[in-house]
Amino acid sequence: MTVALEAGPRARTARNGANPPMGGDNVLEARALHVYYGAFRAIENVTLPIARNRITAFIGPSGCGKSTMLRAFNRMNDLVPTARVEGDIVYRGQSIYAPGVDPVEVRRHIGMVFQKPNPFPKSIYDNVAWGARINGFRGTRRELDDLVEAALVQAALWDEVHDKLDQSGLSLSGGQQQRLCIARAIAVKPDVILMDEPCSALDPIATLRIEDLMQQLKERYTILIVTHNMQQAARASDYTAFFNMGDRRQGYLVEFGPTPELFTNPKDPRTEDYITGRFG
Amino acid sequence: MTVTTTRLRGVEAAPEADTVPLGRRRRWREDAVEAVLFAAGFVSILTTGAIVVVLGKDALHFFRNPDVSLVDFLTGTVWQPQLGKFGLLPLLNATLMVSGIAMVVALPIGLSIAVYLSEYATPAVRNRLKPTLEILAGVPTVIYGYFALTFVTPILRWALGARTVDIYNVLSAGLVVGILVIPLVASMSEDALQAVPRALREAAYGLGATRLETSLQVVVPSALSGIAAAFMLAMSRAIGETMVVAIAAGAGPRLTANPLRSAETMTGYISRISGGDLSYNSVDYDSIFAIGLALFVITLGLNILSGRIVRRFREVYE
Ligand SMILES: Nc1ncnc2c1ncn2[C@@H]1O[C@H](COP(=O)(O)OP(=O)(O)OP(=O)(O)O)[C@@H](O)[C@H]1O
Ligand SMILES: [Mg+2]
């Protein structure tokens, strides 16, 4: 199936219906991707397929470009004035960096959850409903209520907040805020969800909840997650990509494969050093 | 005891014999700096206090006059000192009309400039526009006054007819006072918008929001307390503005709802009387202190209100 990414009037694709039917095996693919900040090459020549309805983890030392790589997948780097991309990322057969493509449209299909929970200073309800509203939700109030409830249920937050939907999102705990941010991302009915260290501000219990949640979410969404936590990558992901930093601080992909394989039988000695903690 | 020792193993306990000096030490430099800073803060409190005392003393002198009553002052609809009529409403009405018109001009334009500068402009454009705005804020208000009288008023009279628009009129003064406070509104609102965490913008863009949706529906609401504070301060500034109204709004108290007529404001009246050759002991002269006190109370009230609004709407970010 093809998805409209071209710039055009808003609310043209009725995205508030069902998820797109399953296409090929890879939803996304980076092809010979380079990302620059000014003259500095932060990502060098990465080719990486992202499997549909699977969790792909990005691991690697700090500063190697995991966030940069992740943000390339929904053109979030466009917000950095100096950032520039060479190579391509293909989403369901379409280049997301092609000239006619609207980054706003890309981000409606490929949503994002950030490292630090960043709910809007709005009510819990409006935090979830806002994304749907701006994306052309045209249903009744009841339908919007249902959408908000469904997103909060999927994000495993409903039980904790159903009786205080009108309170500020900022009144929740850190772990709850992060689940609210996940609910907010889900409510737009994206296809892919990018998560940049979503658990790094959370305690171990809240972290496990998010990991459980990811397992449920992957039935409907494709998930990319950046993590510093090796156990998390090993526990929660289906595929793992290990990035490293070269001598000019450029990030490159060392090894990519199914998670169990990469962790038990790494092909590259640098991967082995990193996952066994002998790195650096 | 054994338990404690085990727990502390590896931690070097200080030998009990040498005590470490932990007593308070005098730090002269710190004390001196603190005193200077305190003095600086105290001067502003002192000034405010002195203003209240001076205004209050002379205003009291005014109200002591047998021809004057506080009730008439607050509710009277005619201000004619020659006839012993001291009703504040005509002056207050003109002041509120001018500042009301000013805010209708300044809020949308100032806020639009702020949103443009903060959310749309590239750093290069911003670095040029902001200083320009600051120059505008530095133009002496007397120049704005003549701008109103010799530029805006003729346009109004041309557009609406010389019969309907007085040479001196409230609308022209109000529009120009609005222009005058635009830089204040824009600059303070821009600071408030800039203070909104980047993470909130990223959250909005990450949901597929456009720049306009992000700016107007996420960033502006998040900066509401700062914007409200800017608005209140601009309102105080407009109420207190003297030169423009003295030049362009007219010299003669008049209670009218028509902004195309001339009407003297509180500040306009004060400046006319204090600039004239009235004797220092006349009731007229004393009356300006009562008006001054009223202005002081109004602006103080606005400031308190703005403080409340800021506290009420402030969003707590980590
Ligand atoms: N906005 C930016 N402008 C310029 N350089 C940047 C910018 N963002 C990141 N970089 C640089 O790009 C490189 C990769 O950064 P990135 O944040 O992607 O690393 P990371 O792997 O996510 O690190 P961490 O694990 O610490 O989050 C770093 O050298 C960083 O300094
Ligand atoms: Mg990162």
A122-141 mean pLDDT: 92
Cβ–Cβ contact A4 with B under 8 A: no
Cβ–Cβ contact B213 with A under 8 A: yes
- What are the residue ranges of helices labelled H in chain A? 66-72, 103-109, 124-134, 141-154, 158-161, 174-187, 204-217, 230-236, 259-264, 269-275
Cβ–Cβ contact A131 with B under 8 A: yes
User: Nearest C-alpha of chain B: how many angstroms from A3?
Assistant: 15
Give yes or no for a contact between A1 and A92, defined as CB atoms under 8 angstroms apart. Answer: yes
Q: How distant is the alpha carbon of residue A255 from its chain centre?
A: 20
Crossing angle, helix B28-64 and helix B283-313, to 10 degrees?
130
Q: What is the pLDDT of residue A6?
A: 66
Q: What is the pLDDT of residue B3?
A: 43
Q: Could you tell me what percent of chain A has a pLDDT over 90?
A: 75
Q: What element of type H or E holds A30?
A: strand A26-37
User: Nearest C-alpha of chain A: how many angstroms from B208?
Assistant: 4
Q: What is the pLDDT of residue A13?
A: 39
Cβ–Cβ contact B197 with A under 8 A: yes
User: Nearest C-alpha of chain A: how many angstroms from B315?
Assistant: 7
- The one-letter amino acid code at B298 reads I
Length of chain A: 280
How far away, in angstroms, is A70 Cα from ligand 2 center? Answer: 9
Cβ–Cβ contact A79 with B under 8 A: yes
- Of ligand 1's atoms, which has the minimum distance to the CA of residue A226? 22
A116 contacts in chain B (CB < 8 Å): 199, 318
- Of ligand 1's atoms, which has the minimum distance to the CA of residue A243? 21
Q: What is the pLDDT of residue A279?
A: 62
Cβ–Cβ contact B217 with A under 8 A: yes
Residue A260 CB neighbour total at 10 angstroms? 12
End-to-end CA distance of chain A: 45
* Closest protein CA for atom 31 of ligand 1: A63
What would the pLDDT profile of A79-97 be if each residue is shown by its tens digit? Answer: 998 999 999 999 999 999 9
Which residues have any ligand 1 atom within 6 Å of their CB? Answer: A 37, 42, 62-68, 80, 82, 249
Name the residue ranges covered by the structural domains of chain A: 26-118+192-275
Residue whose token pair is 């526009």: B129
How far away, in angstroms, is A35 Cα from ligand 1 center? Answer: 11
How far away, in angstroms, is A49 Cα from ligand 1 center? Answer: 22
ipTM of this model?
0.87
Q: What is the pLDDT of residue B314?
A: 63
Q: Nearest CB to A170: which of B123, B206, B316?
A: B316
Count CB pairs under 8 A between chains A and B.
Answer: 75
Task: Find the closest chain B residue to A109 by CA distance.
Answer: B208
- Token reading at B73: 């002052």
Closest by CA to B261, choosing from B246, B248, B272, is B248
CA–CA gap between residue A105 and residue B19 (Å, rounded): 69
Q: What is the pLDDT of residue B266?
A: 94
- Of ligand 1's atoms, which has the minimum distance to the CA of residue A38? 4
Contact A108 B222 (CB under 8 A): no
What would the pLDDT profile of A238-247 be if each residue is shown by its tens digit? Answer: 999 999 999 9
What would the pLDDT profile of A191-200 be if each residue is shown by its tens digit? Answer: 999 999 998 8
Q: What is the pLDDT of residue A1?
A: 52
* Closest protein CA for atom 23 of ligand 1: A63
Q: Along chain B (318 residues), what's the average pLDDT of each consecutive run of 10 residues?
A: 46 63 85 93 92 90 86 89 88 95 97 95 90 90 95 95 92 96 94 93 94 95 90 93 92 91 93 79 85 92 83 59
Would strands B85-86 and B79-80 be described as parallel, antiparallel, or unpaired? Answer: antiparallel
B210 CB-contact burial (10 Å; exposed 0-12 / middle 13-18 / buried 19+): middle
A230 has a pLDDT exceeding 60:
yes
How far away, in angstroms, is A251 Cα from ligand 1 center? Answer: 9
Q: What is the pLDDT of residue B5?
A: 45
CATH class as words, domain A26-118+192-275: alpha beta
Q: What is the pLDDT of residue A97?
A: 95
Q: What is the pLDDT of residue A38?
A: 93
What would the pLDDT profile of A25-82 be if each residue is shown by its tens digit? Answer: 889 999 999 999 999 999 999 999 999 999 999 999 999 999 999 999 999 999 998 9
Q: Nearest CB to B206: which of A81, A107, A121?
A: A107
Ligand nearest to the CA of A69: 1
How far away, in angstroms, is A105 Cα from ligand 2 center? Answer: 24
Contact B123 A105 (CB under 8 A): no
Cβ–Cβ contact B124 with A under 8 A: no
